[in-house]
Amino acid sequence: MLPIQLIPYFQYTLSAVVGTLLLGWGYWQRGQQGFWGATVEVDPESLVTPWLVIFWLAAILRGLRRGHAVLGRVYDLTGIRTPKRAASWEEAASYFLALGLEPKTCWYPLLMSLVTRYSRTTKQILFGTPSQHRTSFCP
């Protein structure tokens, strides 16, 4: 069984990353950028920065885009549109809503069910790049 609660080479757990993004999404809905607001909401000792939230948003969207076809078999993803920008709160919000992940709900069990189902179906992880799929930089 894959360690689905972790993202390879991330210092933070999947639930911490997604939880922070859900906080950022809430700030984005109120007309702010979301990156700074998310960092204010988390524990100050976690050392989360706006740059890290931007990076997490891009990484989570990359995984969702990669897994779109598989996830689309279970979830209605027909309303998802990929914008021209690399990381977009609008796209993330579309995915989160389609997957049932909303800030004010008990989203953790839904997230774990989602990544477990994906992992069992594909024998891969949804988010991040495991070491065996990373390219070598040696000449």
User: DSSP per residue over 27-90, as a string?
Assistant: HHHTTS-SHHHHHHHS-GGG---HHHHHHHHHHHHHHHHHTHHHHTTTS--TT----SSSS-HH
What is the tally of structural domains in the chain? 1
pLDDT per position as a tens digit, 116-129? 999 999 988 888 86
What does pTM read for this prediction? 0.85
Higher pLDDT, 94 or 43: 94
Q: Indicate whether 4 belongs to any domain.
A: no
- Tell me the average pLDDT across 81-97: 81
pLDDT per position as a tens digit, 56-85? 999 999 999 999 999 999 999 998 877 766
Query: Domain containing 119: what range?
Result: 14-125
Q: Indicate whether 136 belongs to any domain.
A: no
Q: Indicate whether 139 belongs to any domain.
A: no
The answer, yes or no, to whether residue 19 has pLDDT greater than 50, is yes
- Tell me the average pLDDT across 31-56: 83
Q: Indicate whether 121 belongs to any domain.
A: yes
Q: Indicate whether 94 belongs to any domain.
A: yes
Report the pLDDT value the prediction gives residue 1, as an integer from 0 to 100.
45
Q: Indicate whether 81 belongs to any domain.
A: yes
